[in-house]
A and B are shown apart, each in its own frame.
Chain A
């Protein structure tokens, strides 16, 4: 590798670290992203043009076409995607990264004289293929689950054992190929197929509420796949870039697990079982009280502190713009309004923040769980829109609940609670919510967008 290219890779690596650092603060995030993107562009251009290989023109043309096609598609997707679809988009891109790593591994397997190469190189190639394949099919599966095309949470008895035996045999096959230096394309494709199948098996049983964890984990795996290809080429920018993504993904995965009081193992091995049916029958939680938009408007109009708890249902109803209007209106009337954001609100880490930012909500009005929880005591009205499990007191006081121990927003400490829901259906986790039966709670039934529009209209008339 030429000195110039090494220096380019070094600069690119530094931009990645620096870019990630700046992504950590709202004021510098945008420039951080651009800095990292610049470094990436530099690394790509350098790789294409700085080398001492005799490369026929046709290859340059092909690379050019590939880059042009990918750039146009990527750009169009990025500009058009709705913010509610971010989790799907990230899953899809994760899958592409994984596929790319697996393909590189396959080509390198063909180019390498396996029986004459050191075991560590063969192991690296096979690892790139397996991890790339798992990331690819797992991400597509997650994509399918998120957009609703794959609905079922399949639970075969002994699923975990089947799953684990499967991945162990895939790894054993790889180990056999490495140890024996076996150059068999048949076994290679078996390994590839094994990785693809495992990706599906691994994501399929994971419940919807655990999706933020899965996305973080897959994100991390893509990084690891990239890092492994970096080892293969002894390429520092790939290695460091991949490792940074890998460790970032792990941190977010752990953060999401903590936010749900679940261990990573229990997410992957899916001990989360919805027991809505029998529980709903066995328990009589009391009666519910419903209210109207005008009553709610009056209550809010005379409140000093109002806290809004938005959930994914808000985004599904496309009501994030109306809620901002409501918040502005209340603020104009001298009411102190804040949003309480649970770490797993939405379908990926930080998703709710993006959805509200899209509606021009100031980010300093979005208060994280640990900071807002003490403030519920002073709240006159809490408006819960499209959220359910993250405000379910069962997490505190019902050891039999599947969400027991999960940190929640303590909305029950406030003076009045208004919950907007379309119906009494259970939440994403599929469990009943005793908050709705609380004496302080009033239910405001209806589509979030319509209900909030009514609320805004009522408030305007006051």
Chain B
């Protein structure tokens, strides 16, 4: 409990952002029609690939002789960018299909 209070007081800004971003997320998604649920989910999926930023930071901070860290970072970047590119590309492909034909 003490740790939690310490965490909150040390990271007050982050706590505010988490709470406010949650509200923004809920409000954004709440009214989306079921028609778009699948593209929304794969688009959101692509957004979670933002973790790649962390993976890149890992590699930038790695010592070039620390092979394990480099290898893990490398895999993390590959998986992250796969998630980003694949996610946005497939969402785009799906949304192409939703275009009005008339």
Stretch with Cβ within 8 A of B (4 or more), from A242-250, A288-296, A394-402, A436-444: A242-250
**Bound CA–CA A252/B29 (angstroms):** 8
Q: How far is the CA of A94 from the CA of B72 in the complex (A)?
A: 18
User: Are A353 and B38 closer than 8 Å at their CB atoms?
Assistant: yes
Known contacts A120-B6, A354-B38, A368-B33, A20 near B28 by CB under 8 Å: yes
A31-47: which residues lie under 8 A (CB-CB) from chain B? 32-34, 36-37, 40, 43-44, 47
A265 at the interface (CB under 8 A from B): no
- Report if A20-B38 is in contact (Cβ < 8 Å); known contacts: A96-B80, A244-B24: no
Q: Are A243 and B25 CB-contacts (below 8 A) given A226-B50, A237-B53?
A: yes
Complex Cα–Cα for A92 and B74 (A)? 19
Q: Check: A182 CB closer than 8 A to any chain B CB.
A: no
Across the interface, name the chain A residue whose C-beta is closest to B87. A93
Given contacts A97-B49, A243-B25, A247-B29, contact A353 B34 (CB under 8 A): yes
Flag whether A238 is at the interface (Cβ < 8 A).
yes
Q: Is the CB of A100 within 8 A of B76?
A: yes
Would you give the 0/1 interface string for B22-59, flagging 1 where the beta carbon is closer than 8 Å to chain A?
Answer: 11111011111111111111111111111111111111
Are A62 and B56 in contact, CB atoms less than 8 angstroms apart? Answer: no
Q: Give chain A residues whose Cβ lies under 8 Å from the Cβ of B91.
A: 33
- Is the beta-carbon distance between B24 and A33 smaller than 8 angstroms? no
Residues of B in contact, count (CB < 8 Å) = 84
Question: Which A residues between 215 and 242 are near B, CB-CB below 8 angstroms?
Answer: 215-216, 219, 222-223, 225-227, 229-242
- Per the bound structure, the CA–CA distance linking A350 and B39 in Å amounts to 8
Which applies to chain B's interface (DSSP): helix, strand, loop or mixed?
helix
Q: Are A219 and B35 in contact (CB under 8 A)?
A: no
Is there an interface contact between A66 and B54, defined as CB atoms closer than 8 Å?
Answer: no
Residues on A with C-beta less than 8 A from B45 are 90, 93-94, 97, 219, 222, 245
> Residues of B at under 8 Å CB distance from A?
3, 6-7, 10-11, 14, 17-18, 21-26, 28-62, 64, 68-70, 72-102
In the complex, which residue of chain B has the Cβ closest to the Cβ of A91?
A: B45
Q: Are B28 and A244 in contact (CB under 8 A)?
A: yes
Check B21–A216 contact: CB distance below 8 A.
Answer: no
Chain A residues close to B by CB (< 8 Å):
16-17, 19-21, 23-26, 29-30, 32-34, 36-37, 40, 43-44, 47-48, 51, 53, 55-56, 58-59, 62-63, 65-67, 69-71, 73-75, 77-79, 81, 83, 86, 89-90, 93-94, 96-97, 99-101, 103-104, 106-108, 110-111, 118-120, 123, 178-179, 215-216, 219, 222-223, 225-227, 229-252, 255, 341, 343, 348-351, 353-354, 357-358, 360, 362-363, 366, 368
Chain B's closest residue to A48 (CB) is: B56
Which listed residue, A21, A69, A79, A246, touches B28 by the CB 8 Å rule? A21
A235 touches B53 (CB 8 A): yes
> 24 A-B pairs, CB-CB below 8 angstroms?
A19-B47, A23-B40, A24-B36, A30-B95, A40-B49, A40-B88, A43-B53, A48-B56, A66-B81, A74-B84, A74-B87, A79-B89, A93-B46, A233-B57, A238-B51, A240-B21, A242-B51, A243-B22, A245-B47, A248-B29, A250-B26, A350-B37, A354-B94, A363-B35
